[in-house]
Amino acid sequence: MRRERIFLFDTTLRDGQQTPGVDFSVEDKIAIASMLDDFGIDYVEGGYPGANPTDTAFFAKRRTRNARFVAFGMTKRTGVSAANDPGLAGLLQSASDTICLVAKSWDYHVAVALGCTNEENLENIAASVEAVVMSGREAMVDCEHFFDGYKANPDYALACAKAASDAGARWVVLCDTNGGTQPEEIRTIVASVIAAGIPGDRLGIHAHNDTGQAVANSLAAVEAGVRQIQGTLNGIGERCGNANLVTLIPTLALKDVYASRFETAIDTDRLQELTKLSHAFDELLNRSPDHQMPYVGASAFATKAGIHASALLKDPRTYEHVTPESVGNLRKVMVSDQGGKANFINALKRRGIVVGKDDPRLDRLITIVKEREATGYAYEGADASFAILARRILAYVPDFFHVESFRVMVERRFDANGQLKTVSEAVVRVLIDGEETLSVAEGHGPVNALDLALRKDLGKYQHEIADLELADYKVRILNGGTEAITRVLIESTDATGARWWTVGVSDNIIDASFQALMDSIVFKLLKNRDGAVAAAAE
């Protein structure tokens, strides 16, 4: 049976613009349009030319090579002809292939927001679509609030959709603008639209995630006959976001219930670029990636439970719904309180340490890890600290240097100009091969000062740590209140691009930070000597 084509429509640059904290510059939009175009998205909706200077500038040129470049705007106003409507004129002037007009399809909105009659709204829709068609461009209409409008006045909502379709719109998009529609309702209402005479291959779905079901609603609409899905990269969008294309694309491609019936422009080769696309988008916007995002998240294929690990080692099909490689992601097996012996052995193997399951030192390591984790250590997020601990018990770690003592001071006082300033200073006494060095450093805060002082003069090891950098620092207070334990996690990098995490736990935050900093330096020195250790760092 021939598979039907689903068209992917990305509105990251238009509806995604409404995301709290997101503001695209023209350069941002050019870069993102290019990423989407290269990936194979069918339609790239670039924005609203005429509504703001950025979008108007963005639409001065066509910004995609293969994807249809879409300009968004409103249907003409009442009492003005299509030829004389300035909004429409702006759209027709833009360097777009396709024009998408948003139309009211809820009678309440027509009255309150537009202040015109239901009939006038239908005329505005028809005339606007005709104007676009006559200009030689592809026309689409987003029927805003379609599902709520249908529930309130089904005949009128259908009339709006038909007005668009009859006037020549290639696509009529049913929008769940408030995001509250349920999958069951999507299916029923889409079926009614098709029964009313607009075929599914002219219908699109635009879902929002206000009940956590934008993806499900999009798929329900497809099951009911719709053939265009609108969404955004990483599900950005206002309120709870738009439908996440990064979730929809692999689901359509890899899940048999859809893959057997439908195809998109994203073939299995392109699909392997998905994780890269998702991460590149977050990088560009300086957004923290969602580690738990389906398919592409850092944790999407990470498993912790000891009860899974042994089976997983034998056949990943038993624990993974798709292979991570199919979407360009990686499998991760983590160490933790929950780890069974098999988990530990595997974790050690990946760090270049081979140990037999009956080796008594293995039991000792497991016991120490569990005891420490009960006091606050979290080795799962501190790969490098785990590697050092494991090597100390199962192999050998050289005594590179000793910190005999340290002193950290934070002082807040008035300076010579009468300004209040805070200074942080650390003094460290280090013993290397019987020789003592004393170093002092200033920093933004006490931990920064301690870090700089520790790494200021490590004698014969100094050149080895020259490229060591603290990349990230996280603090967690456990058991709150006055009996608090502080857990510090530090991420370090070096010139090779490797990244590793270390942990420290104490009731004293400086002490906890000190432990994590020490492990960071020791790991760097181990890494410089031992290929297996280096290989284990990403």
Q: Which 115-144 positions form the footprint of a copy of itself (CB under 8 A)?
A: none
Q: Give least dist CB 485 to a copy of itself, A.
A: 9
Q: For residue 312, which of 346, 349, 362 has the smallest C-alpha distance?
A: 346
Contact 3, 261 (CB under 8 A): yes
Among 484, 496, 535, 538, binds a copy of itself (CB under 8 A): 484
| Residue 8 host element (H or E) | strand 7-10
Half-sphere exposure of 502 (CA within 13 A, CB side): 24
Distance (Å, whole) CA 190 – CA 370: 54
Residues 6+ apart with CB under 8 A from 248: 8, 215, 218, 219, 229, 231
Closer CB to a copy of itself, 66 or 479, in the complex = 479
Closer CB to a copy of itself, 506 or 528, in the complex = 506
Closer CB to a copy of itself, 269 or 315, in the complex = 315
Which residue type sits at 214? Answer: A
Among 30, 410, 532, 534, binds a copy of itself (CB under 8 A): 410
By CB under 8 A, the residues from 245 to 304 that bind a copy of itself are 247, 251, 255, 257-258, 286, 288, 291-295, 297, 299-304
Q: Give least dist CB 375 to a copy of itself, A.
A: 9
Q: Give least dist CB 224 to a copy of itself, A.
A: 11
Q: Give least dist CB 529 to a copy of itself, A.
A: 27
Q: Give least dist CB 530 to a copy of itself, A.
A: 27
Q: Give least dist CB 406 to a copy of itself, A.
A: 5
Contact 477, 486 (CB under 8 A): yes
- Where does residue 483 rank: exposed (0-12), middle (13-18), buried (19+ CB within 10 A)? exposed
Distance (Å, whole) CA 150 – CA 105: 8
Q: Which pair of tokens denotes residue 86?
A: 């300035």
Neighbour-count burial for 44-75, b at 16+ CB within 10 Å, e otherwise:
bbbbbbbbeebbbebbeeebbeebbbbbbbbb
Q: Give least dist CB 297 to a copy of itself, A.
A: 6
Q: Give least dist CB 195 to a copy of itself, A.
A: 20
Q: Does 518 bind a copy of itself (CB under 8 A)?
A: no
Radius of gyration of the chain from its Cα atoms, rounded to whole angstroms: 30
Contact 394, 361 (CB under 8 A): yes
Q: For residue 192, which of 215, 210, 206, 174 has the smallest C-alpha distance?
A: 174
By CB under 8 A, the residues from 192 to 231 that bind a copy of itself are 209-213, 215-216, 219-220, 223
Q: Does 532 bind a copy of itself (CB under 8 A)?
A: no
Q: Does 183 bind a copy of itself (CB under 8 A)?
A: yes
Among 3, 61, 65, 239, binds a copy of itself (CB under 8 A): 239
Q: Give least dist CB 386 to a copy of itself, A.
A: 14
Q: Which pair of tokens denotes residue 277?
A: 């696309």
Half-sphere exposure of 117 (CA within 13 A, CB side): 4
Q: Does 321 bind a copy of itself (CB under 8 A)?
A: yes
Among 27, 155, 325, 435, binds a copy of itself (CB under 8 A): 27
By CB under 8 A, the residues from 413 to 432 that bind a copy of itself are 413-414, 422, 424
By CB under 8 A, the residues from 496 to 515 that bind a copy of itself are 506-511, 514
Q: Which pair of tokens denotes residue 509?
A: 């935050």
Among 62, 77, 276, 370, binds a copy of itself (CB under 8 A): 370
Q: Which pair of tokens denotes residue 92?
A: 């027709």
Q: Does 486 bind a copy of itself (CB under 8 A)?
A: yes
Distance (Å, whole) CA 293 – CA 10: 18
Which residue type sits at 406? Answer: F
By CB under 8 A, the residues from 159 to 178 that bind a copy of itself are 177-178
Q: Give least dist CB 305 to a copy of itself, A.
A: 6
By CB under 8 A, the residues from 54 to 113 that bind a copy of itself are 54, 74, 106, 108-109, 112-113
Q: Give least dist CB 19 to a copy of itself, A.
A: 8
DSSP output for 188-253: HHHHHHHHTT--GGGEEEE-B-TTS-HHHHHHHHHHTT--EEEEBGGG--STT-B-BHHHHHHHHH
How many residues make contact with a copy of itself (CB under 8 A)?
A: 126
Q: Does 17 bind a copy of itself (CB under 8 A)?
A: yes
Among 444, 460, 496, 529, binds a copy of itself (CB under 8 A): 444
